[in-house]
Amino acid sequence: MTTLARGSDTLTRDALAVLQPGFTGTTAPDWLLRRLGEGLTSVGLFGRNITSPEQLAALTAQLRAERADVLVAIDEEGGDVTRMEVRTGSSFPGNLALGAVDDTALTQAVARELGRRLAACGVNLNWAPSADVNSNPDNPVIGVRSFGADPHLVARHTAAYVQGLQAAGVAACTKHFPGHGDTAVDSHHALPRIDADLDTLTTRELVPFRAAVAAGTKAVMSAHILLPALDPARPATLSPAALHGLLRAPVTEGGLGFEGLVVTDGMEMRAISAAYGIERGSVLAIAAGADAICVGGGLADEDTVLRLRDALVAAVRAGELPEARLADAAARVRALGDWARHAGGPGAAEGIAPAPEAGLRAARRALRITPGAQPYQPPTGPAFVAAFTPVANIAVGDETPWGVAAELARLLPGTATATYGRDDVQGPGAGGAPALIANVLADAADRRIVAVVRDVHRHAWMADALDALLAARPDTVVVEMGVPQAPPSGALHIATHGAARVCGLAAAEVITGGVAGG
């Protein structure tokens, strides 16, 4: 660890100010409180830090007692990506569901209610919304996190979301600039590359970000993606051409004219850490125009904070990072903290009427129901839910429950469920789709089967299993909880446009002959 010389207090405080670290536990550790006193200005929260709204409020109060203007950030998109409700599933549908309804007033209302709940718990910066255009339906990491494939639809809902969230006093952080939708690689694992030309980027990827800037988004998150049309060497997070030359440049010069806070995506993600390491990656990011370094999803300890602090200080002293650039970045972080201190918090939440049913109403409206050839007859007794489950991407995680089984069991007591994965079809000793379906039929016995799938178009094993199941039991209900790209099938096909808990509840209502979507 670098030994800091006397007289470097301002530099050290600036280096701490640009970090957005995480930690483990449901109370703030002593080291984190100590660093807040030394200049750390932001803290990132994850599912591991949260057990209830009451506990979260106590945690943020603990942080704020040490530093009144602390930015408490969270990755709370609603839908599939939730941290506040990581163990139960979200009370809000995600972006694709809102885009499917295409009612910007509804999107704004959902974001305002989500923001109200965050503010009531003392959270004042949300790493959301995703403004990515889902132009590649095979995208492994965006999918239902996007409002859709139409840039202008994504733009109007991104703007509505930003306005709703910030009306509750929670700063929006629009992501993943300049657009993660046309990727076939998850940047958690490797560096994605988008070979679109500048005209395509301008008319597709950048449209929602321009709308977010116009709507007043307080922050923008950079993506760890390589766009040779912008920079053939460095991913956007580390690229002056992407951050300073495109995001910050005046509109009159072809830029977006953004003046708020630029936050990096998680620096421990392999797209950055594998090629650059988090220390050098953080120095390059600040030099390129980023203002805040997000780290803590995987690395959540004091040593990480000290390593990054000292790497930034050393880079300034070595002339690799202009001191004025670091000072400017730190000032932007503190400015947002000052805004949040006055605009956000529980006081802001108290000024907004609660809308506890906003998420469920939106989930119901997002359903797209396709009947089969025969009139649908709802089950009158317990059902059997066969969940065909893909491997979760890291952004979503595998802690959060999804599907319809829990909600259906409340409406049809005695309903059972089982989970089936790719290894049950393609793994060692597996007998392919026929053997899997034989197991499903045995597990189900004479109960109505509800097959739950997620992005069936992306998983050949899942499509084969579903076809075999429908051949054996044509009365099977199919619930697609991912991107509904495959043709509808089943005695009743329900596309929920996301796997949030409320999406499962809305689908369960329809399965049992209750509330219809729309």
Which of 180, 188, 224, 459 is labelled catalytic? 188
Query: Phi-psi region for residue 111, left (φ > 0), alpha (ψ -120 to 50) or beta?
Result: alpha
Q: Give me the phi and psi of 192, to 5 degrees please.
A: -75, 155
For tokens 């446009």, what's the residue? 497
Closest of 470, 441, 449 to residue 383, by C-alpha: 449
Distance CA 23, CA 385 (A): 37
DSSP category for residue 228: T
Q: Calculate ∠ Cα 453-464-409, nearest 5°.
A: 30
Sequence-distant (≥ 6) Cβ neighbours of residue 467 within 8 angstroms? 433, 489
Reply yes or no on whether 455 is catalytic.
no
Contact 47, 24 (CB under 8 A): no
Reply yes or no on whether 231 is catalytic.
no
Distance CA 163, CA 100 (A): 19
358 by DSSP, 3-state: which? helix
Contact 153, 97 (CB under 8 A): no
Distance CA 332, CA 125 (A): 14
Distance CA 67, CA 37 (A): 7
What's the one-letter identity of residue 353?
A
Given the DSSP bridges, would you call strands 171-177 and 219-222 parallel, antiparallel or unpaired?
Answer: parallel
Distance CA 351, CA 349 (A): 5
Contact 94, 500 (CB under 8 A): yes
Which of 75, 132, 231, 265 is labelled catalytic? 265
Q: What residues act catalytically?
A: 188, 265
